[in-house]
Amino acid sequence: MKKNVARGIVAAVLIGAGVWVGVNFASPLEAESNALTPGSAEDPVVTKSYVDALLSNNNGGSSGGGTTPAVDSQLEVVTVPVGKTLMAGQGTEVIVRVGKAIAYSSDASGIADLTGGTDLTKGKAVPTNHLLLFPRAGRGILPDPNQKNGLTVLVKGSYTLQ
């Protein structure tokens, strides 16, 4: 029993000494690191007016030389009448809000149903309120011929009614 108590006391003293050494002698190691001090000559403080001047000289644009054309990021409400097909452009996103829709594709590939995680090939029913992504042109949706009314959809991107 005395052996176990003595071992416990020795362990507690060693742990305490290790913590004390770590707290008291860690600071010099941090000071010797190569970290830059904010406001020094190597890392100067920049004022808001300086940044504003740089942005105004750059016309507020990014420094990257991207050539990606601007895409309309607004959702547009579109009504698709019976007998017409909404043909979506490449990268267009569509959500069917009202009505029953059928997927259309000019080839064997289909439309990506991002909500359901499936591929909708030609002739398959399109679920309502699912986000559809059209990876290429030549694909679209049309109203189910068994319904009297057309479709109401939300479209982000380019499309045509045919």
Q: Tell whether the model's pLDDT for residue 67 goes beyond 80.
A: no
Q: Using 50, 70 and 90 to split pLDDT, how confident is the model at 35? A: low
Tell me the per-residue pLDDT of 109-123, one tens digit each, with 9 for 90 and over.
889 899 988 988 888
Query: Phi/psi at 49 (nearest 5 deg)?
Result: -65, -35
Residues sharing a CB contact under 8 Å with residue 112, sequence separation 6 or more, in sequence order = 119, 120, 132, 133, 134, 135
**What pTM value is reported for the model?**
0.54
CA neighbours closer than 13 Å in the CB half-sphere of residue 31:
5
| Domain edges within the chain | 76-161
Fold classification of 76-161 is Jelly Rolls (2.60.120)
